[in-house]
A and B are shown apart, each in its own frame.
Chain A
């Protein structure tokens, strides 16, 4: 079945430094959708980025990611971390036509002053 592997556990960064959260996936489907969700405590997980187009950069709210099918990757990046970026980040995959999302285990990003 589908699987998603992302930078696990806790990532702590100083404000202003670049953010890089890794995400790789496995799926039998040739045209999967990849997503990054951000989850703040006591709120709903919110879609940050999504892509199904190979080698095309997608950007939103300062974050960007590029789906690379050759390496099955969809890494999340931001040039300069902000305190408000502190949250849980989930990489997720949707393949086929059954709407199912397969999530990675999540990365807790903590940005410090």
Chain B
């Protein structure tokens, strides 16, 4: 079956430092990977969408300078939260999809980021 792993599951970093999180797709080819953030008391908000062999598209209020993403192949993606501050805390979800839109997006369990 199709599975998405994320690690670490939980992490704590000091304010002003950076944190890298990873997403691994197993059992299918992750043609596109979407990174979402769920801040406390809020819903999931799309940060950026990465499609292999295409430019990464960031949503408004999110930038490559703050959330650089790597998607080097069809099974792996990583995102770094640079210079993290309190407002960056939350659950970061990776969602991967194999084919054209309408296909199921498989989610990982998320990386929970705490910023001290």
Contact = CB atoms under 8 A, between A and B. Distances in A.
Interface string A88-112: 0010001011111111111000000
Nearest to B6: A44
A46 B104 CA distance: 10
Contact of A42 (B49, B57, B107, B109): B109
A45 interface: yes
B29 to A, nearest CB: 14
A105 B97 CA distance: 22
Q: Which of A90, A99, A101, A104 has the most CB of B within 10 A?
A: A99
A17 interface: no
B108 A33 contact: no
A106 B32 CA distance: 24
A83 interface: no
Given A52-B102, A98-B101, A101-B95, A90 B49 contact: no
Given A97-B101, A99-B32, A44 B44 contact: no
A10 interface: no
Size category of the binding interface on chain B: 20 to 34
B74 interface: no
A42 B91 CA distance: 11
Interface residues of A, number: 23
B4 interface: yes
A104 B102 CA distance: 18
Given A46-B107, A100-B34, A101-B105, 13 more contacts: A42-B109, A44-B108, A44-B110, A45-B93, A47-B104, A96-B101, A98-B49, A99-B32, A99-B51, A99-B105, A100-B49, A101-B36, A102-B46
20 contacts: A44-B108, A46-B107, A47-B104, A50-B104, A90-B43, A90-B44, A94-B101, A97-B101, A98-B101, A99-B34, A99-B51, A99-B97, A100-B34, A100-B46, A101-B46, A102-B46, A103-B36, A103-B44, A104-B43, A105-B42
Interface of B: 4, 32, 34, 36, 42-46, 49, 51, 57, 59, 93, 95, 97, 101-102, 104-110
